[in-house]
Amino acid sequence: MSKIMDSNFLSLLVHPIYKTRLQYDQASAQLIDNTHNDHFAIKENVPLLLTSAEEVSLTQTEQHNEAGSKFRYKEHYQHDAETYDYFKKTENPIESEEHNRLHQYILSEIPAGASWILDTGCGGGWLADALKDKKKNVISMDISDINPIKAVKNNPYPTHYGLVADVYELPIKDNSIDCIVASEIIEHVSDPKRFLTALFTAIKPGGKIVVTTPYNERILESLCIHCNQLTPHNAHLHSFTEASIQKCLPPGIKSYRTAVFNNKILVRLGLQRLFSFLPLGLYRGIDNIGNALTNKRAYRLLLVIEK
């Protein structure tokens, strides 16, 4: 049986704009919204619930307004996934350990009782791989069709699903997901507050959103050889501190907290690798001491929102 016919997964999916129910049409192998007569393709068992619409406000950022251009983000991140292999492991041992601790911090925040977990901007699908033996339903979602399809192929367990979608047009039923992870995504989006609000609508009461992003990043720019405009490195549009990310919080949250982690001194001097054998709890204590002594010179910022 095709995974897209899984009734539990199907019950979560809605039209990305109208939020109306979708049905699977076996004859055409499509998802159909009979109310609006809209059809959505399924590619290698992954629903493509992405529209071609672009809201003008979402194509406008400070950087694009200064350059007199538009942020065609749907097109951009499709090309991004075609250009960069998010599944390739870094050969830099220092970078690898920093990513390893980043993943451990995120995993420690996922509630033990969470049944449905949405990985927003799944990239190389590391979260699905980490949770493959935990008996949880994981949705690897990305705005490109390359990453979710490859993520499911790499981890083809029965409760792992792929989804191509835009957070701003999130095709998931309100109040239906137990935990959402958005790791290293919010710095890329045009409207961070609207981004978090969209995720918040999909979370169940009592659910949790886990966000990580570079901490107090100095965003560097280079002159693009193609368009002769200044372009931010890694397509980062925003830099966050505890105070600035709080301004993006959606209304109606039960609680939230922020934390900084992965101290730059520990990482750059290779001391993080020296302590790699330590469990997260013990390492976190050393990391906190490093951040306190160096005035929070950390690589990552964590935001946890509870509904």
Query: Residue 10: CB partners within 8 Å, gap ≥ 6?
Result: 4, 22, 23, 24
- The answer to whether 37 and 189 are in contact (CB under 8 A) is no
Domains along the chain? 53-306 (3.40.50.150)
Predicted confidence pLDDT, tens digits, the chain (307 residues): 355 568 899 999 999 999 999 999 988 989 999 999 999 999 999 999 999 888 889 999 999 998 899 999 999 999 999 999 999 999 999 999 999 999 999 999 999 999 999 999 999 999 999 999 998 999 999 999 999 999 999 999 999 999 999 999 999 999 999 999 999 999 999 999 999 999 999 999 999 999 999 999 999 999 999 989 999 999 999 999 999 999 999 999 999 999 999 999 999 998 999 999 999 999 999 999 999 999 999 999 999 999 9
Q: Is the pTM of this model over 0.85?
A: yes
Which candidate, 123, 177, 145, places its Cα nearest to that of 78?
A: 145
Please give the structure tokens belonging to residue 246. 């709080």
Helix (H, G, I), strand (E, B) or coil at 119: strand
Enclosing H/E stretch for 47: strand 46-47
CA atoms within a 13 Å half-sphere pointing along the CA-CB vector of 171:
27
DSSP string, 187-234: GGSS-HHHHHHHHHHHEEEEEEEEEEEEBS----EEE-TTT-SEEEGG
DSSP string, 1-12: --GGG-HHHHTT
Task: Tell me whether residue 290 is exposed, middle or buried, using C-beta atoms within 10 angstroms of its C-beta: 0 to 12, 13 to 18, 19 or more.
Answer: buried
| Rounded Cα–Cα distance for residues 112 and 115 (Å) | 9
- The answer to whether 152 and 45 are in contact (CB under 8 A) is yes
